[in-house]
Structure 1
Amino acid sequence: MKILFVTSEFADFAKAGGLADVAAALPRALRAQGVDARVLLPGFQKVIDELDVLTLVGTLPRRAGIGPCLLGEAKTRDGLPLYVVLDPSLYQREGNAYAGPDGQDWPDNDLRFARLSLAAEQIADGKAGLAWKPDLVHANDWPTGLAPAFLKWENSTVPSIMTVHNLAYQGLFPEDRRGQLGIPDEAFTLDGVEFYGQISLVKAGLSYADHITAVSPTYAREITEPEHGAGLEGLIAGKAREGGLTGILNGLGGDWDPRHDPHLAQPFDAQDTAGKAVMKERVRTSLCLAPAEGPLFGVVSRLVHQKGMDLVAEVASAIVERGGQIAILGVGDAETEDRLREAVRYNRDHVAMLNGFNEPMAHRIMAASDFYLTPSRFEPCGLSQMHAQRYGALPVAHATGGLVDTITDGETGFLFPDFSVESFLSAIDRAFAVHADPPALERMRAAAMRRSFDWADSAEEYIKLYARLTGKPLLRLAGTGGARAGATTADLRAASCMDRP
């Protein structure tokens, strides 16, 4: 079984959000179970800089205003095969995958990711000059939404899956870009890529993919409803009625494990959690929090509206009045950060915030915390609540999306039903009650730390879906092919992709 996993992000080289973690973990988990999974990603400067050897293996032809370019092949240090779309004019820029150093989206993002999506179709249909062809194309979120569409428009026999990681990001562009992107006139309809007079790249993927997956079972249901469907709930619900929608929970990588975490002063596990007390004192000291006997509530998050950080700011004083403290690590929008800073100023010595992201401190706050605040307005899957449970920090979470699927209320954490201060505080009070009962706290903590969020389980579910869509059984990995002698990474840095007419 051969799978081409198409992504705009990849955690080894270019990360902007959770998609990067999934793109790095799921293909590896698939390969561990015998699937020949390979990753297709853009040739960002960070990608090219990090690769030891990048070999030119194919040429990708033009379609409309999407120019021709080269295709490179490489491997990660642990052997995961990569295909890299090489177009310096589109990808080798300062900034992240989607925006420049000023934080503004690149104005040609539609063309940049149409090139990536078209590369997927060209590889699948044997137009790239490779000996390897996938049995299925697995697209992810709006940047790869045109991949299923190009496959359908080219009458390809290769099926596709579109995974929704966060439907709030849709990839909307002006209607007059249709010609540049090679979108047929007949596709700019309600049943195609049109969305309120614009081109929607995520709708392209949802409309033309053979199957849709979402990153948790609850989120799969939520996106069929108006509150979370972002205007596409009718389309998705229709697919669901036809059996074309599946929720598959994301997994958790092995780099978050308190038993052998290099960032912790004292490792610990479910049987011996003494290391948590050590870490709590160290984190309190490093954040200049006052000595205290009450619980420590942790936050490691993007400080944005979606994550419900305004609720954290509103309940901060109530937590302090009850004898608790809060340690916050993250970066986000200015308004949310300002509200949290105000809470810090008002509760000096008991609420602390590190503005930015620091990987070692993220691990330490998780390890130190008794409870973890995650009041997200919506959460397609979420990883932090899984990290928290693995580190014995019981989540206090809004009952939405993947939070529902990963937290057992009253056993491994606390769920609150309504997105409101009152509902949130009710769950926080339940946490305080458990903290006042040490045997109950230890029981919940041990249950949380025993939870398994293994990527192998997720991979197994995807393999079943791949087999159903392709009609092919899982066979062991065979030898790979398609590589031809070519340039090294250093050569490519100096080379132009291809002369354009």
Structure 2
Amino acid sequence: MDARVIADEDRVPEFVAALGRGGAPSEGRAVQRILYVTSEMADYVKAGGLGDVSAALPRSLGQRYDVRVLIPGYRQVTSREEDIPVVARLPAAHGLPACELGRIDCPDGLTVYVILCPDLYDREGSPYGDESGADWADNDIRFGRLGLAAAQIAAGVPDLGWTPSLLHLNDWPSALGSAYVAWAGLQTPSVLTIHNLAYQGLFDPSRLPGLGVPDSAFGVEGVEFYGKLSFLKAGIVYASHVTTVSQTYAREITTPEFGCGLDGLLRKLDGEGRLTGILNGIDESWDPRTDRHLESPFDPNDLKGKKANADEVRREFGLAVSRGPLFAVVSRLVHQKGVDLTIESTESIVRQGGQVVVTGRGEERFERAMQKLAERYPAQVGVRIGFEEQRARRMFAGSDFLLMPSRFEPCGLSQMYAQRMGSLPIARQTGGLADTIKDGVTGFLFRDPSLGAMLSAIYRAVDAFGSRRKLNAMRRAAMSETYGWTRSAAGYCGVYDRALAGPSQ
């Protein structure tokens, strides 16, 4: 049985009734309506790169489409907005509670719909877990509610007066939206963007009834993944089109090495022309000429200001005055990011006269290891556990090199930020890093996720540092790279148009 088609008798009447029928878009309307569904948005709450993308991409797409954002009403959202007017009520279905839909009109004209359900979202912590980092036990309900809300809006909510032509879903938290649309027999197309395939949203099959998942959908051709329910697989199976956040990552995830057990399904999509890589962008605030958080402005034609920023970073991290190279780490401290390789390479960097500054949070073992390095080399290694964007900006502007030895990197934003600020990335040749760094021109790439390969790239960087002419030429080349959202938006426009045209196109 084709997993994208669920027989009438398998549909749950309560669920279909909850979706309703009303407010469908009128035919022939010139401007298509896009509902951008996300679990993060940097305007309010951000746990990773998805938050930045969700703040920038809908705004860039708004030049062509009527784009509106749907996000859960976390405490970070409701506490920032004094009064969020309620514009609709969405009914309950199975174990997914009823909720209200609020509306925020941003100063720049972007409309954000907020799912107001305090029992699910009004909590301290991140979008996904408590303050200790533990996942919320009811994340299936919390994000099943997000996907259901998207499907209910797609079905038409009369009080809303707006019905999307297409759903744009992001990662596992919203991925179930495409499945709900299919199970209800709706024709609304959907695009799912995979920002990181490693996070799939896996839950015990005992949770299926509460989510309204039809029994017939729980199989190898449907939402089942090694005996568990996979939100992300559901999104991949039922979406009209799947995108990833770089061209290289789109190719990589069709292989066993990077496919996280879904490579076969993704190869199938690729063969059908329904898998596309579109590189993320960065916003225009990453400009060393105008960034107010920097100690001194600078530009490609006048790089003197980099030294003032480097001196400020050294003071901030308590490092000794030095003429040697300054290496930065701005990263989640997790295995994916190759943090163990960074830790192992630090002693060699220090021996060559370099210094390392680190900011980030992650696995406790890596946090402890970084702090021990700072204790061992207090004048050469500085560590700040946690993340503050202003500090990160100063680190990008002040450092000579950015260490980014990721084992895999769907897109990566730090290497783009670094290049705009004249810091040359030293990175593994994978995913978006391969797509955004020109080896020996705007940074240094290495292939194998090994200490030897990383040290070889570091030695090349140190050699370049020894030649002011070569170093500044690379800095200028890096700063001249453009990673604006216009190009990314154009890629999504193509995908949207294909999805809206239907499967025959």
Specify the alignment match of 1:277 in structure 2.
307
Note if 1:223 corresponds to 2:253: yes
TM-score by length of 1: 0.92
1:344 CA displacement: 2.4
Report the Cα distance in structure 2 between the residues aligned to 1:367 and 1:177, rounded to whole angstroms.
48
CA contact (8 A) 1:59 1:128 kept: no
Kept in 1: contact 2:441–2:478 (CA 8 A): yes
> Are the aligned partners of 2:41 and 2:50 in contact in 1 as well (CA < 8 Å)?
yes
- SS, match of residue 29 in structure 1: helix
Aligned residues with identical type, % of pairs: 51
Question: Which residue in the other structure is 1:16 paired with?
Answer: 47
| Structure 2 unaligned regions, length at least 5 | 1-31
Partner of 2:94: 64
SS of residue in 2 equivalent to 1:449: helix
**1:192 pairs with 213, 217, 222, which one?**
222
Q: Is the 8 A contact 1:253 1:454 kept in 2?
A: yes
Distance 1:249 1:180 in 2: 36
Q: 2: distance between equivalents of 1:272 and 1:398?
A: 30
Question: SS state of the match for residue 222, structure 2?
Answer: coil
Residue 332 of structure 1: SS of its match in structure 2?
coil
TM alignment of 1:35-434, pairs within 5 A: 35-127=65-157, 129-434=159-464
Letter of the 1:6 counterpart: V
1:492 alignment partner in structure 2:
none
Residue 434 (structure 1) shift: 0.8
- Offset of residue 215 of structure 1: 0.7
CA shift for structure 1 position 62: 2.4
Q: Which one is further off, 460-469 or 334-343?
A: 334-343
Larger relative contact order (Cα-Cα within 8 Å, sequence gap ≥ 6): 1
Equivalent-residue separation in structure 1 for 2:494 and 2:198 (angstroms): 28
Q: Which one-letter code corresponds to 2:343 in the other structure?
A: A
The CA distance in 2 between the partners of 1:334 and 1:53, in whole Å, is: 39
Q: What amino acid does structure 1 have at the position aligned with 2:49?
A: G
Aligned to 2:497: 467
- The residue that corresponds to 1:482 in the other structure is none
CA contact (8 A) 1:60 1:128 kept: no
Shift in Å, 1:124 = 0.8
Q: 1:442 aligns with which of 468, 472, 483?
A: 472
| Offset at residue 359 of structure 1 (A) | 2.4
Contact 1:297 1:325 in 2 (8 A): yes
Looking at structure 1, the residues matched to 112 and 290 of structure 2 have their Cα atoms a distance apart, in angstroms, of 30
Query: 1:128 offset after TM fit, Å?
Result: 5.6
Determine if contact 1:116/1:144 at 8 Å carries over to the other structure: yes
Q: Residue type matched to 1:44 in 2?
A: Y
What CA distance in whole angstroms lies between the structure 2 residues aligned with 1:176 and 1:53? 38
CA contact under 8 A between 1:51 and 1:76: conserved in structure 2? no
Distance 1:287 1:54 in 2: 41
**Given residue 335 of structure 2, which amino acid in structure 1 is its aligned partner?**
H
Q: CA deviation at 1:52?
A: 4.5
> Displacement, 1:282?
1.9
Displacement after TM superposition at 1:446 (Å): 0.2
Q: Matched residues in 2 for 1:102 and 1:265: separation? A: 34
| TM-score for the superposition, normalised by structure 2 | 0.91
Do 1:331 and 1:356's aligned partners in 2 also have CA atoms closer than 8 Å? yes
Query: Given the alignment, which residue of 51, 57, 60 partners 1:29?
Result: 60
Gaps of 5+ in 1: 473-501
Offset of residue 288 of structure 1: 2.2
State the 4+ residue runs in structure 1 displaced beyond 4 angstroms. Answer: none
Q: Is the 1:414–1:431 Cα contact (8 Å) retained in structure 2?
A: yes
**1:19 match: secondary structure:** helix
Inter-partner Cα distance in structure 2 for 1:295 and 1:65: 56
Cα deviation code 1:418-464 (max 9, x no counterpart): 00010001001110111111111111100000000001110111011
1:310 and 1:137 mapped to 2: Cα distance? 39
- 2:198 counterpart SS class: coil
Any idea what SS the aligned residue of 2:471 has?
A: helix
Secondary structure of 2:257 counterpart? helix
